């Protein structure tokens, strides 16, 4: 495994990304190849994979075994649960979510991609874009993942032909653009042979773009604070009431988005009370400014009523509060979601009672058609819902903020997560296709 100092790691940026593809597209092999060729596999892990591969009669180590951790996964040769892997190169740190490819585990892909800034969608070069490919592209679009990589795998089985890759890249990019995906980068690879995964392929000299790892190391990570709506969900109220700090009252939480400054006028939602930031404590020290994703304690100039679940926002950029939420949900529970269902809605650090008033439509991801008024959503279904909450909720549109525009629905009886929700419109408006880089494969 490569040796990177702690100081060097802390100086690099973090990229969260997810992988998705149909069963047998070689997704786990790609992840295994990525970890192996970037020297992110420990010696004992590789030895274990070599032993498991030998017991199956395989001469070379099956790198897919590095990610298929469950016994059931290894026996079936498929990925079932989301497998998270952490690795780093000298240029960047990575959190990888390897998501299942089978249609019955679509909800697991939603879980894995919900926090991702990039999704790698695999396609078997022999099969091209299939229904599950469209499904994965639609989920990436629904979750507003800003970067999508189309990895056309198994190029070794189609003679490394450029025309095969070009046709698949064109079809996928046209579909993704319709969904409003802002950026698609297509890369021809062979995960089994290692072509264009970490090292550039000598067999595809017609391709001049980056390898998968090169793209992961250089893709911009979107932390443009100037365009974020500042939001601080209050997690805890700190009142030491000690002799040294008799009057200290601070509101602690992780900044979900944007920047807060001392002296800034803020509003506490949903109450609507206003005050001014008198101080910000970060790791026990006062600072003048703090930003996402720092965990801070904010002190206000006025003695206003603030408690866990409240949202502190700049007064000049406060979201509207509402008790009627329209959203797109992915239903993840085995028990169905029905009209009239009484649930708990968790938004940030706030949990309120709610009722499902209507399910206007269910979305078929394969062709993006809508089934009107289905009355119920089953596991893996994605649909529009109208929800009435018992208390006002300061929710942003998911298009504006993936953190404060999302929520989950919870079964009040046993605490089971029922659905993951995104406030507002389902898909972004399509953007015009722009010219890419000189390599010709950035769409």
Element (H, E) at 352: strand 350-364
DSSP per-residue string spanning 290-316: EETT-EEEEEESS-----TT-EEEEGG
Question: Domain for residue 396, yes or no?
Answer: yes
pTM above 0.85, yes or no: no
Query: Which one of 258, 287, 314 terminates a domain?
Result: 314
Spatial neighbors of 434 by CB under 8 A, at least 6 apart, are: none
Question: Domain for residue 87, yes or no?
Answer: yes
At residue 435 the predicted structure's pLDDT band, cuts being 50, 70 and 90, is very low
At residue 220 the predicted structure's pLDDT band, cuts being 50, 70 and 90, is confident
**Domain range for 274:** 232-314
Spatial neighbors of 380 by CB under 8 A, at least 6 apart, are: 103, 104, 105, 106, 107, 330, 331, 332
Question: Domain for residue 435, yes or no?
Answer: no
> Is 193 found in the same domain as 136?
yes
Three-state secondary-structure class, residue 436: coil
- For residues 355 and 409, the answer to whether their CB atoms sit within 8 Å is no
Spatial neighbors of 437 by CB under 8 A, at least 6 apart, are: 209
Question: Domain for residue 375, yes or no?
Answer: yes
pLDDT digits (tens, 9 = 90+) for 25-60: 888 888 888 888 887 777 777 777 777 777 777 777
At residue 223 the predicted structure's pLDDT band, cuts being 50, 70 and 90, is low
Greater pLDDT, 308 or 90: 308
> Is 240 found in the same domain as 186?
no
Closest CA to 66 of 80, 89, 83, 88: 83
- For residues 63 and 29, the answer to whether their CB atoms sit within 8 Å is yes
Query: What pLDDT is stored for residue 431 in this prediction?
Result: 56
Question: How many domains does the chain fold into?
Answer: 3
Greater pLDDT, 296 or 10: 296
Quick one: average pLDDT of 150-178? 95
Greater pLDDT, 258 or 9: 258
> Is 302 found in the same domain as 417?
no
DSSP per-residue string spanning 88-144: E-SSEEEEEEE---SGGGHHHHHHHHTT-SEEEEEEETTT-S-HHHHHHHHHHHHTT
Query: What pLDDT is stored for residue 32 in this prediction?
Result: 84
Spatial neighbors of 340 by CB under 8 A, at least 6 apart, are: 355, 356
Q: CATH number of the domain at 393, please.
A: 2.40.30.10
Alpha carbon distance 141, 173 (integer Å): 12
The answer, yes or no, to whether residue 1 has pLDDT greater than 50, is no
> Is 302 found in the same domain as 173?
no
- The two three-digit tokens of residue 105, written as one number: 């585990």
List 399's β-bridge partners, or say none: none
Query: Which one of 314, 340, 360 terminates a domain?
Result: 314
> Is 48 found in the same domain as 175?
yes
pLDDT digits (tens, 9 = 90+) for 80-136: 566 788 888 888 989 988 877 666 667 777 877 888 899 999 999 999 999 888 888
> Is 332 found in the same domain as 304?
no
Question: Domain for residue 440, yes or no?
Answer: no
């Amino acid at each position: 495994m490569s040796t990177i100092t702690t100081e060097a790691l802390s100086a690099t940026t973090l990229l969260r990304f997810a992988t998705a593809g149909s069963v047998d597209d070689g997704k786990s092999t790609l992840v295994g190849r990525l970890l192996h060729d970037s020297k992110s596999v420990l010696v004992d892990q590789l030895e274990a994979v070599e032993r498991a591969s030998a017991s199956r009669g395989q001469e070379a180590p099956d790198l897919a075994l590095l990610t298929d951790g469950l016994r059931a996964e290894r026996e079936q040769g498929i990925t079932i649960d989301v497998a998270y892997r952490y690795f780093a190169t000298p240029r960047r740190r990575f959190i990888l979510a390897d998501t299942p490819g089978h249609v019955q585990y679509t909800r697991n892909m939603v879980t894995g991609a919900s926090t991702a800034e990039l999704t790698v969608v695999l396609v078997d070069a022999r099969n091209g874009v299939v229904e599950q490919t469209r499904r994965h592209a639609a989920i990436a679009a629904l979750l507003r993942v800003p970067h999508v990589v189309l990895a056309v795998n198994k190029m070794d089985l189609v003679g490394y032909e450029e025309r095969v890759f070009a046709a698949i890249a064109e079809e996928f990019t046209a579909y993704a653009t319709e969904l409003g995906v802002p950026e698609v980068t297509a890369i021809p690879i062979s995960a089994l042979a290692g072509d264009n995964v970490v090292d550039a392929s000598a067999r595809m000299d017609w391709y001049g773009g980056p390898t998968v790892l090169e793209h992961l190391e250089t893709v911009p990570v979107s932390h443009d604070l100037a365009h974020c709506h500042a939001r601080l969900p209050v997690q805890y109220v700190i009142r030491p009431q000690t002799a040294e700090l008799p009057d200290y009252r601070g509101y602690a939480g992780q900044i979900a988005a944007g920047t807060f400054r001392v002296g800034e006028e803020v509003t506490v939602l949903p109450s609507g009370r206003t005050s001014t930031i008198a101080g910000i404590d970060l790791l026990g020290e006062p600072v003048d400014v703090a930003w996402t994703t720092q965990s801070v304690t904010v002190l206000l100039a006025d003695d206003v009523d603030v408690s866990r679940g409240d949202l502190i926002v700049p007064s000049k950029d406060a979201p509207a509060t509402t008790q009627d939420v329209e959203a797109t949900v992915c239903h993840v529970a085995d028990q169905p979601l029905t009209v009239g269902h009484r649930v708990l809605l968790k938004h940030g650090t706030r949990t309120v009672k709610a009722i499902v008033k209507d399910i206007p439509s269910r979305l078929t991801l394969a062709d993006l058609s809508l089934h009107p008024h289905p009355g119920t959503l089953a596991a893996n279904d994605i649909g529009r819902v109208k929800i009435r909450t018992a208390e006002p909720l300061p929710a942003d549109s998911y298009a504006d903020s993936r953190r404060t525009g999302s929520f989950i629905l919870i079964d009040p009886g046993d605490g089971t997560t029922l659905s993951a929700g995104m406030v507002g419109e389902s898909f972004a408006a399509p953007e015009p296709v722009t010219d890419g880089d000189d390599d010709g494969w950035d769409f």
